[in-house]
Amino acid sequence: MLLVGLTGNIASGKSSVAQLFAGWGATLIDADVLARQAVEVGTPAYQAIVERWGEEVTAPDGPIDRRELRQRVFSDSEQLEALNAIVHPEVQRLRDQLVDEARRRGDRIVVCDIPLLFERRLADQFDRIVLVDAPRPMRMDRLVHARGLEMTEAMRMIASQMPAELKRARADYIIDNAGTMTELTQRAREIWEALERDAAPGAS
């Protein structure tokens, strides 16, 4: 089984690539999905968040209000690290469980979509790392116009992540996403075919 870490800074197009890989046969494990599961009502992480930040970060019907919580922590590195310390160990546990299940099934290529792969020092856990990248001004535009974020919030989110230049140096494969969806699909397909070769019996 080839274990692939898929990463990219916010609004790079990583999620689009993840869906393409899944459509071509990858087993996809999405860190954002796991992060939501980790903080569901009643979980230890949910309780720890409410104890730390109060019920103001919960929605009226109980679940964590992710937007409210994000606004509170992204401008404060100490609070962001405190949140990560609560959520990430549980996300790691859930991911390890899914990877073990995939290995037992004999899945050929397992792609773990992890936005903060390098920031959380997870690179050594994977056989290959794929980075999706796009120019910073383009990512800013996507956050503001496609996702509806305020400019200041978008800038904080981009600034909270490791610069893409440092990630490019450590990735095995890079998918540049500065063009059309057709161009992104073509480049992703090239990388997928390379991963299939890497996963073939006898490949190093």
Mean pLDDT of the chain: 93
Under a CB-based contact definition with an 8 Å cutoff, are residues 21 and 119 in contact?
no
Give the mean model confidence (pLDDT) for residues 107-128: 96
**What are the tens digits of pLDDT across the range 67-113?**
899 888 877 889 988 999 999 999 999 999 999 999 999 999 999 99
| Fold for the domain defined by 2-36+89-199 | Rossmann fold (3.40.50)
* 19 vs 145, more confident: 19
Burial (CB < 10 A; 0-12, 13-18, 19+), residue 171, is: buried
**What are the tens digits of pLDDT across the range 144-175?**
987 888 888 888 888 878 999 999 999 999 99
The pLDDT of residue 204: 62
The pLDDT of residue 77: 82
Would you kindly state where each structural domain of the chain is located, as residue ranges? 2-36+89-199
Query: Would you say residue 142 has pLDDT above 70?
Result: yes
The pLDDT of residue 65: 94
Under a CB-based contact definition with an 8 Å cutoff, are residues 109 and 26 in contact?
yes
User: 0.75 cut: is pTM over it?
Assistant: yes
